[in-house]
Amino acid sequence: MRNVFVLCGFCVLFAVACGTPPGKGQGRVYAVVNGEPITEATLQKEVEGLPPYVRPILETPAGRAQFLESVITRDLLLREALRRGIDQRIEVADRVSMARKSILLEALLRDVADKAPGLGDDALRKAYDENAAQFQVGERAKVSHMLFRDKALAEAMFRRAKAGEPFEALMKEVGTRDGEVAADLGDIERGNFVKEFEEAVFAAAPGSVVGPVKTNYGWHVIKVYERKPAGVRPFEEVKPQLLAEQRERAQRDAFEALIAELRKSSNVRVLVKMEEGAAKTTPAPGAPPAPAK
């Protein structure tokens, strides 16, 4: 959400800084390069193309100024490439053509995916009932833990947790120490962790803190939030997974239907038979026969 505000506020921040009167359609003009304006709309498109990890740079005046300079520099270089006729070189034109094809195909696939039919709860429930065995799980527990190399530190942290200090606050404190770990493990299933850790977790009451527990990794202080018995995961819990799977299947069916329709409505002749090991080509009409070997 923070990046969304950055993107929305970017042009406003530039407008305040530059104070250029608004233009028509394209918004304010921030720079003019050889008579061609760099407008608010141009910069907005440039921002949207930035990787997410770069966008926070635009939160500072210096970052915004640097970004505008980079757009101007790239525009100058692009104009120089065109002046030299680099776009007319065969190898460059081929790469541009391939890039254009990739962009068009990506847009087509996105269009097909967006228009693929969705599934309602009834259809999802039916898929859930028909594949109940797929959602069978063992006994589970929702846990967080703190791991220490030193038993004395683990014991001290355990006493603080038992005394009522919030476990989450203690985890943040542990995270600042070298060589120690604090993590929310979410739901863990019996059989996926080391024996000593599991025995402590699945013997504990929900809401309790246990430890220190010794494993080959060190000393653990564990908070058990919830225990869940073995069985079939509830529909509401697996619904997002079902929705994603059914959506993927619907998209795949839509792609295959489109390809079949295009094949049926097009005149396609395969002139080369690809066989294992080598490709045998069909000689052009009137061409002399290949010499006998």
Note whether 227 and 141 are within 8 A (CB).
Answer: yes
Is residue 2 over pLDDT 50? no
Asked whether the beta carbons of 39 and 29 are under 8 A apart, the reply is yes
Give the mean pLDDT of 245-261.
84
- Which of the listed CATH numbers 3.10.50.40, 1.10.260.40, 3.40.190.80, 3.90.1170.50 matches domain 139-229? 3.10.50.40
Residue 190 main-chain phi, psi, to 5 deg: -55, 135
Which residues of the chain does CATH 3.10.50.40 include? Answer: 139-229
DSSP letter at 193 equals S
Contact call for residues 217 and 199 (beta carbons, < 8 A): no
What is the Cα–Cα distance from 289 to 275, expressed in whole angstroms? 20
Q: Using an 8 Å Cβ cutoff, are 187 and 125 in contact?
A: no
Residue 111 has pLDDT above 50, yes or no: yes
Element at 124 (helix H, strand E) = helix 121-130
Q: Is the pLDDT of residue 21 over 70?
A: no
Query: Cα 221 from chain centroid?
Result: 33
**Peptide bond before 52: cis, by omega within 30 degrees of 0?**
no
Residue with tokens 């058990």: 224
Confidence check: pLDDT of 91 > 90: yes
Q: pLDDT at position 99, please?
A: 93
The one-letter code for the residue type at 202 is F
pLDDT at 104: 92
Ranked by mean pLDDT, the top range of 55-64, 84-93, 126-135, 264-273 is: 84-93
Q: What is the mean pLDDT of residues 48-55?
A: 79
One-letter amino acid identity for 175? G
Q: What distance, in Å, lies between the first and last C-alpha atoms of the chain?
A: 70
